[in-house]
Amino acid sequence: MTVAFTRRDALNEPLDLAGIGIGPSNLSLACLLESVPEVRSRFFERRGAFDWHPGMMMPGVELQSSFLKDLVTPVLPTSRWSFVSYLVAHKRLYAFLNANYEAVPRQEFARYLAWVANGVDGLRYATDIRDVEHRDDRFVLRFDDGQEEAKNLVVGTGASPLVPDWAKPFLGPDCFHNSEAKSRLKDLRAARIVVVGGGQSGGEVVEALLGNPDAMKELTWISRRHNFEPINDTPFSNQVFSPEYVQAYLKLSGEQKQAALKNSILTSDGLSISTIHSIYRRLYALRYLDQSTLNASLSPNRDVIQMERNGNAYRLIVRNHFDGGIEVLHADAVVLATGYRFRLPDALGSLGERISLDRNGYPTLNDDYTMQWTGPRSNRLFAQNAGRYSHGIADSQLSLMAWRSAKIVNTLLGRQHFDAEPDNAQLVWATEAASTTPHQLRAGYSDGLLSS
């Protein structure tokens, strides 16, 4: 999409906001900014067109969150960029409702995102931001065929594949991170395959491999967790994906945050129940109904600690945490479903050195999603999807992206343009919130008691 040439360009005034990366996070922000025409913004994406995790778009994969937690609905349900608007515009609302999905196909949600990304103004594709500099009162973003200046910057470059050091020397067609699974699995003809990582990505890779097991003789799936742990998708636990939880979480000390995060990890990073059922039933059918000769081993509580070449194959050294023993696995191909991690993009260059990092190596974020940096306060640097440790588990998911975008818009404007106040929730997290919630008033507390 081309960006209209405006009077601002002619005057060479900086934008109010430039965004690096157009994934769901910055796309949500771009949608909300439509309702604030006085903010001049532009977002840049290195891909030629919007594409949501194309490397993991295997057949049958599903969304792990509600479609109502789309780009806009939680804060601006009247926006034309809601998932429901997409269904109506594509004449499939009734069909969608009749399909009665327990989880929306990821392919459908990706099409919704791409439809929005094609319609919203101010998005520029095929623009890899190579370098960002802070000069005088603005940021200067450089790309191959030009540059752009902006008073504020929002980094929405997502999380990067996490490849363990032991695997780095072997990356290629038969040793790859799951983010390349779709294209790599297509041509993979390995007899012995090891999948490392027991999260949802590992599960989806195993499910895909079991769907087409012809060339495979051995499949080993390793989880470092105690078992192949399911996602905790129950109401009280899911309350961590709410603004009121974030508000309470922000008040915790560093130690308390680490403990709270550990406690809620499976609300986000567990395996979907449908994936677990699908894998288990497929293994059952292969073993008991099809008399398949595939030797499939599921090995939880294991940690791969080393990898070596062994002729044309690999040897993996694995620690078994049940008994502390060392196991050796032989593989012709290794899929690394070892997770993702936020890192500041290389494009920030020397600017990155001016940003303070916390003990997890993530940027130190203020409550309003600005990064702490040594530059002027009037030039704000926002980060999306970088607050897993500082703001809680929901920050690396889609669930609160609209709310986070609303907070960013409010900070930019210096006023509450969007109502980002927490709901009157059933779970009362913090005492301070409890003392002011209307349901406590209804429960018989008097104004006098509350104010005392």
Nearer to ligand FAD, 15 or 316 (CB): 15
Nearest-approach distance from CB 166 to ligand NAP, in angstroms:
7
Nearest-approach distance from CB 365 to ligand NAP, in angstroms:
19
Nearest-approach distance from CB 124 to ligand FAD, in angstroms:
9
Q: Which does 398 bind (CB under 5 to 8 A by kind): ligand FAD, ligand NAP, none?
A: ligand FAD
Residues 292-351 close enough to bind ligand FAD by CB under 6 A: 340, 345, 347
Quick check: 31 binds ligand FAD (CB under 6 A)? no
Residues 152-171 close enough to bind ligand FAD by CB under 6 A: 156-158
Question: Rounded distance, CA 176 to CA 241, Å?
Answer: 31
List the structure tokens of 68.
């109502």
Nearer to ligand NAP, 213 or 230 (CB): 230
Instruction: Tell me the residue number closest to ligand NAP, measured at CB.
Output: 199
Quick check: 20 binds ligand FAD (CB under 6 A)? yes
Quick check: 220 binds ligand FAD (CB under 6 A)? no
Closest to 42 (Cα-Cα) out of 137, 160, 113, 146? 146
Closest to 186 (Cα-Cα) out of 169, 150, 211, 158? 211
Rule CB under 6 A: choose which of 35, 36, 53, 260 binds ligand FAD: 53
Q: Please give the residue ranges that form the binding site for ligand NAP (CB under 6 A).
A: 56, 61-64, 106, 164, 196-202, 204, 222, 224-225, 268-269, 303-304, 337-340
Quick check: 25 binds ligand FAD (CB under 6 A)? yes
Rule CB under 6 A: choose which of 220, 223, 385, 390 binds ligand FAD: 385
Quick check: 129 binds ligand FAD (CB under 6 A)? yes
Nearest-approach distance from CB 44 to ligand FAD, in angstroms:
5
Nearer to ligand FAD, 22 or 240 (CB): 22
SS3 letters for the chain?
CCCCCCHHHHHCCCEEEEEECCCHHHHHHHHHHCCCCCCCEEEECCCCCCCCCHHHCCCCCECCCCCCCCCCCCCCCCCCCCHHHHHHHCCCHHHHHHHCCCCCEHHHHHHHHHHHHHHCCCEECCCCCCEEEEECCEEEEEECCEEEEEEEEEECCCEEECCCHHHHHHCECCEEEHHHHHHHHHHCCCCEEEEECCCHHHHHHHHHHHCCCCCCCEEEEECCCCCCCECCCCHHHHCCCCHHHHHHHCCCCHHHHHHHHHHCHHHHHCECHHHHHHHHHHHHHHHHHCCCCCEEEEECCEEEEEEEEECCEEEEEEEECCCCCEEEEEECEEEECCCEEECCCHHHHHHHHHECECCCCCECECCCCEECECCCCCCCEEECCCCCCCCCHHHHCCCCHHHHHHHHHHHHHCCCCCCCCCCCCCCCCCHHHHCCCHHHHHCCCCHHHHHC
Nearer to ligand FAD, 14 or 345 (CB): 345
Question: Rounded distance, CA 447 to CA 44, Å?
Answer: 51
Nearer to ligand FAD, 52 or 373 (CB): 52
Quick check: 64 binds ligand FAD (CB under 6 A)? yes
> What is the CA angle 35-38-43, rounded to 5?
75
Nearest-approach distance from CB 394 to ligand FAD, in angstroms:
8
Q: Which does 392 bind (CB under 5 to 8 A by kind): ligand NAP, ligand FAD, none?
A: none
Quick check: 76 binds ligand FAD (CB under 6 A)? no
Nearest-approach distance from CB 114 to ligand NAP, in angstroms:
17
Quick check: 21 binds ligand FAD (CB under 6 A)? yes
Nearest-approach distance from CB 12 to ligand FAD, in angstroms:
23
Nearer to ligand FAD, 308 or 353 (CB): 353
Site string for ligand FAD, 355-384 (x = CB under 6 A): -----------------------------x
Q: How far is CA 422 from the centre of its chain?
A: 22
Nearest-approach distance from CB 3 to ligand FAD, in angstroms:
15
Q: Which does 335 bind (CB under 5 to 8 A by kind): ligand NAP, ligand FAD, none?
A: none
Binding site for ligand FAD (CB under 6 A): 20-26, 44-47, 52-53, 56, 63-65, 128-129, 156-158, 340, 345, 347, 384-385, 397-399
